[in-house]
Amino acid sequence: MCCSRLVVLPALLILTASAAVSSVGDAEYVALRRMIGQERYNDAITTCIDLIRDHPEVLSLYEALPEVAQYAGRIDKSGRFL
């Protein structure tokens, strides 16, 4: 019985994370990740900050901001915002 609970917890975490990304809007999040992939870091930083302001409950955005700021060599930008 104890082991069955352990299987459910990771599944709940995955569902919660995917629901959070969906609340931003799949197109917006994909556009943000695409900007990062295209090395359009300044655009991605601005977009990520805007998305955080619009959707402060989405944790993956708080992870994306320092990630892209680090790629851009602008970690100070994310530190000042957060």
**pLDDT value at 8 more than 70:** no
pTM of the model as a whole? 0.65
* Signed CA dihedral, 80, 65, 40, 29: sign only: negative
CA distance 18 to 43: 24
**CA-CA distances (angstroms) from residue 54 to 25, 57, 69?**
11, 9, 19
Q: What is the pLDDT of residue 74?
A: 83
In this predicted model, what pLDDT tens digit does every residue of 29-82 receive, in sequence order? 999 999 999 999 999 999 999 999 999 999 999 999 999 999 988 877 666 666
AA letter at 66: P
